[in-house]
Amino acid sequence: MTKSSAHAIAGHNAAPDLRSWLQRLSTTDRLAVARGGVSLIDELAAISKRLELDRAVLFPSPGQHSIPVVANIFADRSWVADSLGVSTDQLLPRFQEAVRNPLPWIEVKDAVVQEVIHREVDLLKQLPIPKHNEHDSGPYITAALLIARNPETGAQNVSIHRCQVSGPDRIGVLLLPRHTHHYFRMAEQAGQALEIALVIGVHPACILASQAIAAIDEDEMEIAGALLGHPIEMVKCKTNQVRVPAHAEIVIEGRILPKVREPEGPFGEFPQYYGPRADREVIQVDAITHRKNPIFHTIVGGGMEHLVLGEIPREATLLEHLQRSFGCIRDVRLTRGGTCRYHLVVKIDKTNNGEPKNIIMCAFGGHYDVKQVVIVDMDVDIDDPNEVEWAIATRFQADRDLVVVSGAQGSKLDPSSDQGISAKMGINATKPVEAETMVFKRIHVAGEEAVDLSRVLQEDPKSAFARILTG
């Protein structure tokens, strides 16, 4: 990091932003800094992958570019909890509270993110955009919040999309069938472009909030404000009506063009496969604004940061969704093996033998990505895949406890689906409410937890063993 940007971080203590989180990572020995000159093509992503379970990594002047790049800003759920200032077990409740009580943002006139304005745009010259997985079609912007406005109501939506650099001022974008896609269809049917902004380099709370499964026209930046405990400051873009976080590092302003589709992909995605090349929507870029010394955030597609970022907000919103209808829901996990999107485990305090199947059906409706739901009892540790499998092995009978739905909406990125048409499977791995206590009583050795090994074991086992053999 240069002296001037270090000074900017030290002198900056107002709004929580990307820098305040990187500062926190640095002071807690979780931020590595690479040598200069790492290539933006493959090498930056390769180094990030090697460090992904361990440390964030900052690349000064990657590919001789003057703007540094940061990756791996989350390694696991404890980092996410830390970024929100709560303990790991308070993470989902804290997020739920923010979803329930969003905090409207406030508009400001001046913003650091507009200190430098480029109206002549050349994406690869002006920004250090990496290529990540081996067969990606080229450089991708992967960690940008896409902010769009409902063309009729002006309500803003925030989401993350993979953004392929298709030309100096052109971006190919994948819009999955949620809110941004809906706004775009409204604009396109009226023959208009959809004004958008791509926001790069924000506080983790903003990125997490963007992944909440909120209702359409619920502005995710209000959830971010609630997570941070004070309203996000937003500023109007220079070339359109979209409002963007004033403390972001970089903003790309543009429009998704009506009736235009161009090839996008392949791109390495969270299911650990490449999303295929196809004709997709196109963003025409109108301007780039940024801080004087901006930092560019990138996420390696399918890497741990990608999985964790989607996992926590989805868990919290699925928990909220299920708890609205069922009093017995205690916790949920989107498992690592299920790519933190497809497989949901639900822990319940069961009171009725019919509950699990209702919960399974409700979870299928919570998000189209959810493909498998396993319901377990209170005595199962849902952070341990072996415990969940044990519950299935000993409490589940396929002819009685299995729910299968065919031909439902699923994930287009699941290669086993038929263009996103997918089957759903629910597994009730709970014991019957009326089960006799001893039938489902987990075995346990009395006194195991209280054993003090230093008191009961001999210090020199080799000689003790030799003495026993010789009598």
- Token code pair at residue 68: 């540094």
Segment contacting Mn ion by CB under 5 A, of 37-45, 100-108, 177-185, 193-201: 177-185
Least separation in angstroms between residue 154's CB and Mn ion is 14
Nearest distance from residue 97's CB to Mn ion, in Å? 18
Of the candidate spans 113-121, 207-215, 300-308, 454-462, the one that interacts with Mn ion by CB under 5 A turns out to be: 207-215
Q: Cβ closer to Mn ion: 159 or 428?
A: 159
Q: Closest approach of Cβ 224 to Mn ion, in Å?
A: 12
Could you tell me which stretch among 31-39, 210-218, 366-374, 451-459 binds Mn ion (CB under 5 A)? 210-218
Residues 375-394 that bind Mn ion (CB under 5 A): none
Distance of closest approach, residue 457 Cβ to Mn ion, in angstroms? 58
- Residue closer to Mn ion (CB basis): 18 or 209: 209
Integer Cα distance of 265 and 136 in angstroms: 7
Point out which span in 9-17, 146-154, 208-216, 392-400 binds Mn ion (CB under 5 A).
208-216
Two tokens, residue 70? 């940061």
Nearest residue (CB) to Mn ion, 222 versus 311 = 222
**Least distance to Mn ion, CB of residue 173, Å:** 16
- Alpha-carbon distance of 221 to 14, in angstroms, equals 18
> What phi and psi values does residue 198 have, to the nearest 5 degrees?
-105, 120
Residues whose CB falls within 8 Å of the CB of residue 103, separated by 6 or more in sequence, listed in order:
222, 225, 226, 229, 230, 231
Separation CA 237–CA 197 (nearest Å):
8
Q: What is the DSSP letter of 231?
A: P
Q: Please, which residue, 81 or 148, has the CB nearer to Mn ion?
A: 148
CA atoms of 215 and 159, how far apart (whole Å): 12
Rounded CA-CA distance 236/287 in Å is 13
Q: How far is the CB of 214 from Mn ion (least distance, A)?
A: 5
**Least spacing, CB of residue 208 vs Mn ion, in Å:** 13
Q: Which residue lies nearest Mn ion, judged by its C-beta?
A: 179
Residue with tokens 């870029």: 285
Residue closer to Mn ion, measured from CB, 215 or 453: 215
The neighbouring-strand residues paired with 157 are 148
Distances (CA, A) of 269 to 161, 310, 345, 443: 11, 12, 22, 42
Q: How many CB atoms lie within 10 A of CB 247?
A: 26
- In the complex, minimum distance from the CB of residue 175 to Mn ion, in angstroms, rounded to a whole number: 12
Cα 62 from Cα 226, distance rounded (Å): 35
Q: Which of 285, 280, 310 is nearest to 80 (CA)?
A: 310
Q: 212 in the Ramachandran plot: left (φ > 0), alpha (ψ -120 to 50) or beta? A: beta
Using the minimum distance from each CB to Mn ion, give the nearer residue, 121 or 202.
202
Nearer to Mn ion, 179 or 290 (CB): 179
Using the contact rule CB under 5 A, the part of the chain among 8-16, 27-35, 90-98, 209-217 near Mn ion is: 209-217
Q: Judged by CB under 5 A, how many residues of this single chain contact Mn ion?
A: 3
Q: What span, in angstroms and rounded, lies between the C-alpha atoms of 230 and 277?
A: 41
Tokens of 432: 């019957």
Indicate the residue among 82 and 220 with the shorter CB distance to Mn ion.
Answer: 220
Which is closer to Mn ion, CB of 48 or CB of 157?
157
213 or 380: whose CB is closer to Mn ion?
213
Q: Which residue in the set 118, 179, 280, 412 belongs to the binding site for Mn ion (CB under 5 A)? A: 179
DSSP assignments along 39-73, one per residue: -TBTHHHHHHHHTTTT-EEEESSGGG-SS-EEE-S
Of 172, 126, 117, 127, residue with least CA distance to 287: 117
375 near 363, Cβ under 8 Å?
no
From the DSSP assignment, how many helices (H) and strands (E) are in the chain? 15, 24
Binding segment toward Mn ion, per CB under 5 A, in 104-112, 179-187, 304-312, 358-366? 179-187
Cβ proximity to Mn ion, 23 vs 409, nearer residue: 409
Write down the least CB distance from residue 68 to Mn ion, Å: 30
Minimum distance from residue 226 beta carbon to Mn ion (Å): 15
**Smallest distance, Å, CB 217 to Mn ion?**
8
The residue among 217, 245, 230, 11 whose CA lies nearest residue 103 is 230
String marking each residue 147-176 x if it binds Mn ion according to CB under 5 A: ----------x-------------------
Residues that bind Mn ion (CB under 5 A): 157, 179, 214
